[in-house]
Amino acid sequence: MTMIALLAGDGIGPEVVAAARRVLDVVAPDLTYEEGLVGGAAYRAQGHPLPPETLDLAHRADAILFGAVGDPAFDALERAMRPEQAILGLRKSLKLFANLRPARLFQGLEDASALKPEIARRIDLVIVRELVGDVYFGDKGRGFTSTGLREGHDLMRYDEVEVARIARVGFETARTRQRRLLSVDKANVLETSQLWRDVVNEVARDYPDVALSHMYVDNAAMQLVRDPGQFDTIVTGNLFGDILSDQASMCAGSIGMLPSAALNHESKGLYEPIHGSAPDIAGQGKANPCATILSAAMMLRHSLDRPDAADRIEAAVAATIAGGARTADLGGNLSTDAMTQGVLATLET
């Protein structure tokens, strides 16, 4: 029996996870599910954003389908208790060091992209984001300078093993695509980036069939808007990957369209839309469920070895979008339910 942990979380998380579950029920009806509390919802009920029961469920499950965390009601809480700590804790505990974030323009979404249609049409890339290092996990603190000014710090740190293992995922991913890998860093300024570049170059010796290039992150951000068609596979650190993938999402139409897979060395993975909890539209039935539905497809492909079911979902989303279905983020007025119904109807034809 294959068991999926459903961690819906906060804001629009429960709405989009429920939509993905409906789609999974059609393409993989044998899957079983256990639900767990996470984020602000868990803090409200149990006083912690990642309770031990939820962590245990995540470790027992064959894969995790995650919604979103974040709740402005908890903005004033100390950092360790904030909803966002739940997703960071899950990534760390499950050693989910590799985050795949594909961004492509679905046919028909040219009008929703922030780019001119002829440029937008060329976007089809994967960002391989390192997920358990960088400033997210380095030493952090608040204090006072010697003159009494308030100060804060977050240490940016990587070691060579951490860089080498994500570089390998980058090269392996590039091998499944156009064999072009771009490593993004800030090696003209940052020591961590100089190490990153050295190690990526060393790992490249094992992948002579992949064309490796390097780019500074500021240039990569600019090039992503100027000509996203030049990118195939991008490997980068945690912070740069987070920022560049949000930027890529608007090039591809909406952050509501981008799925992600967080993977470790085993087949266990956590799958989530790249968007957050969107508290401004939570509970209104307006959220675009496509990113979570596409995350469920990634789960079927990467953790459950069901590529045919994954293909079916991706084709159904593509056909639904090509048929003109649009939620508010895409410039339309379909509800979450109507968009999901559209995908389900396409699956059944």
Q: Which residues bind ligand GGG (CB under 6 A)?
A: 68-70, 84, 87, 242, 272-273, 275-276
Torsion of CA 232, 238, 243, 244, to 10 degrees: -10
Q: Tell me whether residue 140 is annotated as binding.
A: no
CA-to-CA dists, residue 238 to 80, 173, 188, 193, 224, angstroms:
19, 17, 18, 12, 18
Catalytic residue (one of 206, 218, 227, 305): 218
Catalytic residue (one of 71, 186, 207, 329): 186
Contact 217, 66 (CB under 8 A): no
Catalytic residue (one of 43, 136, 158, 271): 136
Q: Which is nearer to ligand GGG, 48 or 275 (CB)?
A: 275
- Active-site residue flag, 116: no
The distance of closest approach from Cβ of residue 80 to ligand GGG in the complex, given in angstroms and rounded to an integer, is 14
Strand segments (E) across 228-310: 233-236, 261-263, 269-271
Going by their DSSP bridges, the two strands 269-271 and 63-68 should be labelled as parallel
- Active-site residue flag, 158: no
Q: Which is nearer to ligand GGG, 238 or 346 (CB)?
A: 238
The distance of closest approach from Cβ of residue 162 to ligand GGG in the complex, given in angstroms and rounded to an integer, is 16
Q: Which is nearer to ligand GGG, 108 or 256 (CB)?
A: 256
Q: Tell me whether residue 267 is annotated as binding.
A: no
Residue with tokens 């912070």: 239
Q: Tell me whether residue 154 is annotated as binding.
A: no
Eight-class DSSP state of 65: E
The distance of closest approach from Cβ of residue 276 to ligand GGG in the complex, given in angstroms and rounded to an integer, is 4
CA-to-CA dists, residue 167 to 12, 129, 188, 191, angstroms:
33, 10, 19, 17
The distance of closest approach from Cβ of residue 9 to ligand GGG in the complex, given in angstroms and rounded to an integer, is 6
Q: Tell me whether residue 288 is annotated as binding.
A: yes
Find the helix or strand (DSSP H, E) in which 179 lies. none
Q: Which is nearer to ligand GGG, 87 or 251 (CB)?
A: 87
Catalytic residue (one of 10, 71, 134, 242): 242
- Active-site residue flag, 242: yes
The distance of closest approach from Cβ of residue 344 to ligand GGG in the complex, given in angstroms and rounded to an integer, is 23
Q: Tell me whether residue 282 is annotated as binding.
A: yes
Q: Phi, psi at residue 304, to the nearest 5°? A: -110, 0
Give the 3-state secondary structure of residue 45.
Answer: helix
- Active-site residue flag, 218: yes
Q: Which is nearer to ligand GGG, 134 or 185 (CB)?
A: 134
- Active-site residue flag, 140: no
DSSP 2-34: -EEEEEEESTTHHHHHHHHHHHHHHH-TT-EEE
Q: Which is nearer to ligand GGG, 69 or 119 (CB)?
A: 69
The distance of closest approach from Cβ of residue 277 to ligand GGG in the complex, given in angstroms and rounded to an integer, is 6
CA-to-CA dists, residue 332 to 258, 276, 326, 339, angstroms:
18, 20, 4, 11
∠ at Cα 200 (198, 205), nearest 5°?
Answer: 100
Annotated binding site for Mg(2+): 218, 242, 246
Annotated binding site for substrate: 91, 101, 129, 218
Annotated binding site: 91, 101, 129, 218, 242, 246, 276-288
Give me the active site residues, please.
Answer: 136, 186, 218, 242, 246
